[in-house]
């Protein structure tokens, strides 16, 4: 069966790199099955490395990993699970008014305009939140930290002003300060000053899906059948690839039902070429193999798909693929 290898040493190296760069506590993003890596497997390794706080997508993911960490922040909460170490993201004032979960992080919009509290609501939100809830964090999200431009620094300035207002409010009412976090993976490697943050909230940098980080995932497929394809014969649906010479091939047990993005003629793998149209459960590669490495660095594999990103490739890999922790 096709399977995934996870490099513990590379994961730990990425954690060290992030810590040394930012000098902040890491709030590790392990949502969506840890970007396809396996949420429980990654949780166990991060706990071993000393990570105490993580972010997940929903309540179900929170329940899978709550026993490994001091705090689990749910980005999109639904049902109310009052586990003492689960925190809920509040991104709408109506949500704040009806929430029954007492431990929260407030998410404000500093420029992304996607899913956050308005900066015009700061005073009202702070009064409501600190009156009824344990406010554990205040955060926002960069929209353009992976490109050159002024947006990141505009957001940074807005967040600083937001923090100043929160600090003043807490001092006035003799309240404990919440923790502040804004920097994402790209932000960690772009910013120079992290003094206003308590946490850096990183995802793709943990997994090696951006430059200057080490890949954690390697994807392998097993042989189903080896066969000779002869000159001028074509292969697969619609015969999109014709062989110029007699060629030994291997059919391997991975396809788009496992999460491999669709291709219709060629796909460059680690050491060989997949040819023809990918099938639901298999694809054909050039050469004779018992096992094929589809990729051991998602950054290289992503070059097959100019219109997508490493996140997309990783997150689509299905949970039924076995994850094996190595080194």
Catalytic: 237?
yes
Long-range contacts at 92-100 (CB < 8 A, ≥ 24 apart):
92/117, 93/117, 93/121, 93/124, 93/125, 93/128, 96/125, 96/128, 96/129, 96/133, 97/128, 99/133
b/e 160-176 (16+ beta carbons within 10 angstroms → b): eebbeebeebbeeeeee
- On whether the CB atoms of residues 21 and 188 are closer than 8 A, the answer is yes
**Catalytic residue from among 237, 239, 265, 318:** 237
Cα 33 to chain centroid distance, Å, stands at 8
CB atoms within 10 A of CB 235: 18
CA–CA gap between residue 106 and residue 89 (Å, rounded): 6
Dist CA 227 CA 224 (whole Å): 10
CA angle 105, 44, 202 (to 5 degrees): 40
From the list 98, 88, 97, 67, the residue with the least C-alpha distance to 135 is 88
DSSP conformation class of 316: T
Q: Is 31 a catalytic residue?
A: yes
Residues 6 or more apart whose CB falls under 8 angstroms from that of 95 comprise none
Question: In angstroms, rounded to a whole number, what is the distance separating the alpha carbons of residues 216 and 2?
Answer: 17
| Catalytic sites, residue numbers | 31, 237
């Amino acid at each position: 069966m096709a399977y995934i290898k996870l490099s513990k040493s590379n994961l730990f190296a990425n954690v060290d790199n992030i810590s040394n760069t930012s000098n902040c506590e890491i709030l590790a993003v392990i949502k969506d099955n840890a970007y396809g890596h396996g949420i429980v497997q990654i949780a166990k390794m991060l706990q071993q490395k000393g990570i105490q706080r993580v972010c997940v997508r929903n309540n179900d993911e929170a329940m899978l990993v709550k026993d490994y960490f001091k705090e689990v922040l749910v980005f999109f909460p639904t049902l109310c699970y009052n586990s003492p170490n689960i925190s809920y993201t509040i991104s709408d004032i109506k949500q704040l008014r009806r929430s029954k979960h007492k431990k929260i992080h407030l998410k404000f919009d500093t420029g992304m305009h996607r899913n956050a509290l308005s900066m015009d609501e700061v005073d009202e939100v702070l009064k409501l939140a600190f009156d009824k809830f344990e406010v554990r964090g205040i955060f926002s999200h960069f929209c353009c930290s992976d490109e050159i431009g002024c947006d990141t620094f505009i957001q940074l300035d807005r967040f600083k002003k937001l923090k100043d207002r929160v600090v003043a409010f807490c001092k006035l009412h003799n309240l404990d300060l919440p923790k502040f976090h804004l920097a994402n993976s790209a932000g960690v490697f772009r910013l120079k000053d992290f003094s206003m943050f308590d946490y850096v909230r990183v995802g793709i940098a943990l997994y090696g899906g951006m430059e200057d980080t080490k890949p954690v995932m390697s994807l392998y497929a097993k042989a189903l059948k080896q066969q000779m394809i002869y000159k001028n014969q074509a292969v697969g649906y619609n015969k999109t690839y014709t062989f110029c010479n007699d060629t030994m091939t291997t059919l391997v047990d991975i396809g788009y039902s496992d999460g491999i993005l669709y291709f219709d003629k060629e796909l460059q793998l680690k050491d060989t070429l997949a040819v023809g149209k990918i099938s639901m459960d298999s694809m054909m590669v050039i050469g004779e193999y018992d096992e094929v490495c589809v990729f051991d660095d998602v950054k290289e594999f992503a070059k097959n798909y100019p219109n997508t990103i490493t996140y997309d490739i990783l997150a689509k890999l299905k949970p039924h693929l076995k994850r094996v922790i190595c080194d």
